[in-house]
């Protein structure tokens, strides 16, 4: 009989591509992960992974088992949800990972709503960029991720996750006060092709939004200054270091007196935010009210 915990290890290895990375995500030693993979291969009678200096790759048999693994683990999540519902599940802790602006915009307000509507539920919040929170959900480090669409993100049809759309927001152009387009009502991105740019580091979902918007306008941004902190980005723009695109919600309450903020001409680059849980967990009596509160806060 195949043990479910070994299926979880197989999926972590498939997600992280190396035994070492999977072990770190699961808080196991690499040798323990290797032992469990060997045991799983013995249980199934098939070689499931190919190991090389580059990492670990699933064999065709491993890919077949992974497809069933996603279904089995989702069903186990549903079983836990139903059992928790049977025993009322009115009290407990739910851990939410979210990027900083998402915490301010939806997670904080959701926490306040739950204090009234579901006082038995305690939210534990972790600050994590949108591309980091989804692996944390899959590795069972957190229960809910508030994440952002980005290149390479698991799609809406990914069998491992259930997604709940929360909100979409445009990026605005941030320019130094003396910029030649400072008096424009709207900023055509193509006109910024030769400017120095300030932006997030590669790997940050907002970096993808900025680069893709510039590519669609016909150029690659000349990124000379890098920061994942939008306050630092605005401070650099205010100092005349360059131009930037910043999510509108990140500008709320920020001192932008040293810069000019203008909407982008045409279709504005957009950040799309959603909540995600492991497939099957959306019906859990602790998680369901949290997803509802996040939706209400975003609505």
Query: Three-class SS string for 47-89?
Result: CCEEEECCEEEECHHHHHHHHHHHHHHHHHHHHHHHHHHHCCC
On the question of pLDDT at 218 being above 70, the answer is yes
Percent of the chain with pLDDT over 70: 98
- Confidence class for position 60, pLDDT limits 50, 70, 90: very high
> What is the tens place of the pLDDT at every residue in 232-287?
999 999 999 999 999 998 898 888 999 999 999 988 899 899 999 999 999 898 99
On the question of pLDDT at 153 being above 90, the answer is no
> What is the mean predicted confidence (pLDDT) over 22-46?
89
- Confidence class for position 292, pLDDT limits 50, 70, 90: very high
CATH 3.40.190.10 placement within the chain: 88-167+272-298, 168-270
Structure tokens at 24: 């770190």
- The class (CATH top level) of 4-82 is mainly alpha
d(CA 159, CA 276): 12
pLDDT at 85 (0 to 100): 64
Percent of the chain with pLDDT over 90: 56
> What is the tens place of the pLDDT at every residue in 64-108?
998 898 888 888 888 888 777 666 666 788 999 999 889 999 999
CB 40 within 8 A of CB 10: yes
Superfamily of domain 88-167+272-298: Periplasmic binding protein-like II (3.40.190.10)
CATH 1.10.10.10 placement within the chain: 4-82
Contacting residues for 33 by C-beta, under 8 A, at least 6 apart: 9, 12, 13, 19, 22, 23, 26
Whole-model pTM: value is: 0.71
Alpha-carbon distances, residue 85 vs 77, 78, 114 (angstroms): 12, 10, 18
pLDDT at 81 (0 to 100): 80
Domain 168-270, classified CATH 3.40.50.720, yes or no: no
Phi and psi for 88 in degrees, rounded to 5?
85, -45
Nearest to 285 by CA among 87, 109, 37, 67: 87
pLDDT at 233 (0 to 100): 96
What is residue 96's three-state secondary structure?
Answer: strand
């Amino acid at each position: 009989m195949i043990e479910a915990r070994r299926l979880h290890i197989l999926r972590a290895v498939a997600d992280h591509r190396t035994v070492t990375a999977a072990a770190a995500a699961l808080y196991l030693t690499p040798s323990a992960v290797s032992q469990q993979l060997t045991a799983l291969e013995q249980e199934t009678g098939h070689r499931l992974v190919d190991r090389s200096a580059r990492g670990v790759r699933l064999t065709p048999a491993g890919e077949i088992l992974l497809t069933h693994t996603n279904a089995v683990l989702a069903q186990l999540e549903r079983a836990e949800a139903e059992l928790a519902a049977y025993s009322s599940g009115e009290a407990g802790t739910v851990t939410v990972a979210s990027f900083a602006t998402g915490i301010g915009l939806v997670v904080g307000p959701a926490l306040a709503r739950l204090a009234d509507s579901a006082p038995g539920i305690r939210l534990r919040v972790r600050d994590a960029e949108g591309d980091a929170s989804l692996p944390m959900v899959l590795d069972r480090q957190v229960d809910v991720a508030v994440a952002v669409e980005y290149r390479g993100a698991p799609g809406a049809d990914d069998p491992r996750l259930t997604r709940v759309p929360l909100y979409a927001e445009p990026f605005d152009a941030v320019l130094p006060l003396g910029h030649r387009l400072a008096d424009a009502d709207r900023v055509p991105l193509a006109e910024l092709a030769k400017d120095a740019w300030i932006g997030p580091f590669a790997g940050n979902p907002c970096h993808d939004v900025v680069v893709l918007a510039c590519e669609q306008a016909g150029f690659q941004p000349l990124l000379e200054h890098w920061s994942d902190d939008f306050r630092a980005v605005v401070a650099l723009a205010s100092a005349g270091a360059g131009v930037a695109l910043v999510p509108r919600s990140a500008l709320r309450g920020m001192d932008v007196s040293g810069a000019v903020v203008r909407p982008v001409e045409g279709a504005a680059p957009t950040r799309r935010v959603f909540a995600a849980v492991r497939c099957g967990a959306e019906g859990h009596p602790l998680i369901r009210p949290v997803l509802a509160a996040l939706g209400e806060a975003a609505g």
